[in-house]
Amino acid sequence: MFSFRMFRSRSFIHYKNLKYLLFIILFLGPSFIISDTSPELAVPGQPETAKLFILDASGSMNEYLGIYQKVHLAKKYVRHYVDKLPEETEVGFIAYGNRLPGCQSSRLYQPLEKGNRPGFQNKLFGLTPSGATPLAESIRIAGDYIVRRKSPTDLILVTDGIESCYGNPEKELQVLQQKGINFKMHIFGLGLKPEEKRVMQSLAKTGNGKYYNVGEDSDFFLAMEDLLKQESLPKRTELETEKRKPKIRIAGIEKTQTDSEENFYRVKFNFENSDSDSQCVLLNLKRRSSTSSKIQNWNPQRTSEPERVLRTEQICFQTRKGEGEFQVSAPAHLPLNLELELWDTKGIPSSVDKSGEKNLTE
């Protein structure tokens, strides 16, 4: 069948043939004219919002927030957020500082791309804090980058301080809005002082985004989860979540020995986590709950109601996929459950999945 491009290139077509082709085009309708080779003519769908991070890699990010360095928390939860986005979402990041002194340190380290999560992660974990905090310059660079893009973009700023280079971040946001750029800016403030917090809240409001105050590890997790909930993700992702393959699974429980005081069990499991080759499986031995708790677990990848945990054991692996078993002893007359957790121990340890509870004793 002819295509629209072929039709335009054949300037020597005879007049009668031309009338014949025009008749075919009219008969077939617009679907004949609009082809995959002419995306500018296609009916536009709902554009996917790109995610461009602006990451603080200034010297103060070496400081601690709780028991972790700020830079390590930032890397951990930016990765967590990106891993939960659909593969078709374009992600990239700008960073300032990162071994560069002075106020001209902002650089586009990872352009907005679909699917290049390994490349994003490698560049993210390569950041080394040093230098100042040129927020205004970073927003200006972000604007210059996204101004030619037609799809909406979320700017996500992760910082532990306000502008330190005499720029005006709020004015830069207003300039982007005047240019008609379709964007929002969300801000994660790490350990900010009250006055710094007020400045960042105002900046997020100007950027039509949300401000999240991060005082510790759990704050960062909850903030990232809240931002993920704001996404207008396709309904199919909910179905995919329900049907997803678990990363850690109890394969079987076998009672091996019984006496009047104790029972002995073999708990077999298997796991698969393509994101890491360094991980540990934790077994939590728990008192059985007499009532179903309505308290929401703060981290859905951690064991629920940790106050019921009596004992924890672990086995570690240097592989992405494997199997193993625990040998467990438990009081014979105490109703108990068990649950497994899978932890990624590459870098800062973080939980990635849990098995769900199973009865150990009947």
Asked if residue 215 is part of any domain, the answer here is: yes
Q: What is the mean pLDDT of residues 192-199?
A: 96
Total length of the chain: 362
Distance CA 201, CA 206 (A): 9
5 is a domain residue:
no
Please check whether residue 125 is in contact with residue 77, taking contact to mean a CB–CB distance below 8 angstroms: no
Residues 251 and 282 in one domain: yes
Helices 135-146 & 169-178 angle (0-180, nearest 10): 20
Mean pLDDT of all residues in 273-278: 88
pLDDT of residue 362: 60
Mean pLDDT of 318-325: 92
Q: Which residue do the tokens 């979320």 mark? A: 154
Query: Is the confidence at residue 42, as pLDDT, over 50?
Result: no
Q: Is 237 exposed, middle or buried (0-12, 13-18, 19+ CB in 10 A)?
A: middle
| 260 and 199 part of one domain | no
Residue at which a domain ends, from 183, 200, 232: 232
Which pLDDT score is estimated for 291? 60
Helix/strand/coil (H, E, C) string of the chain? CCCHHHHHHCCCCCHHHHHHHHHHHHHHCHHHHCCCCCHHHCCCCCCCCEEEEEEEECHHHHCEECCEEHHHHHHHHHHHHHHCCCCCCEEEEEEEECCCCCCCCCEEEEEEEECCHHHHHHHHHCCCCCCCCCHHHHHHHHHHHHCCCCCCEEEEEEECCCCCCCCCHHHHHHHHHHCCCCEEEEEEEECCCHHHHHHHHHHHHHCCCCEEEECCHHHHHHHHHHHHHCCCCCCHHHHHHHHCCCCEEEEEEEEEEECCCEEEEEEEEEEECCCCCCEEEEEEEEECCCCCCCCCCCCCCCCCCHHHEEEEEEEEECCCEEEEEEEEEEECCCCEEEEEEEEECCCCCEEEEECCCEECCC
Structure tokens at 235: 């309904």
* Domain membership flag for residue 279: yes
- Is residue 298 in some structural domain? no
Q: Is 39 inside any structural domain?
A: no
Instruction: Please say whether the beta carbons of 305 and 295 come within 8 A.
Output: yes
Per the structure, the complete domain to which residue 310 belongs is given by 247-289+304-359
Same domain, residue pair 312 and 284: yes
Show which of 190, 209, 232 is a domain's final residue: 232
Whether 219 and 321 share a structural domain: no
Residue that has been written with the tokens 């986005």 in this structure? 85
Q: What is the pLDDT of residue 167?
A: 93
Residue 117 lies in a domain: yes
Please tell me the total count of domains within the chain: 2
Query: What CATH number is given to the structural domain containing 353?
Result: 2.60.40.10
- How far apart are the C-alpha atoms of 66 and 64, rounded to whole Å? 6
Q: Residue 232: pLDDT above 70?
A: no
| Same domain membership, residue 210 and residue 130 | yes
Do 216 and 268 lie in a common domain? no
- The interaxial angle of helices 117-125 and 70-83, nearest 10 deg, is 180
For residues 166 and 213, membership in a common domain is answered with yes
Is 34 among the domain residues?
A: no
**Residue 123's domain is classified under what CATH number?**
3.40.50.410
Could you report the per-residue pLDDT of 53-101, keeping only the tens digit for each?
Answer: 999 999 999 999 999 999 999 999 999 999 999 989 999 999 999 988 8
Q: Do 254 and 211 reside in the same domain of the chain?
A: no
Is residue 31 very low, low, confident or very high in pLDDT (cuts 50, 70, 90)? Answer: very low
- Let me know whether 180 and 258 are in one domain: no
Query: Within a domain: residue 122?
Result: yes
pLDDT at site 233: 46
262 and 316 together in one domain: yes
Contacts of 265 (CB under 8 A, 6+ apart): 253, 254, 255, 256, 327, 328, 329, 330, 360
Which tens digits make up the pLDDT trace of 167-185?
999 999 999 999 888 999 9
Find out whether 156 and 127 touch, Cβ atoms under 8 Å: no
Q: Are residues 196 and 272 in the same domain?
A: no
- 218/275 same-domain check: no
Residue 36 has pLDDT above 60, yes or no: no
pLDDT at 301: 67
Instruction: Report the pLDDT value the prediction gives residue 152, as an integer from 0 to 100.
Output: 92
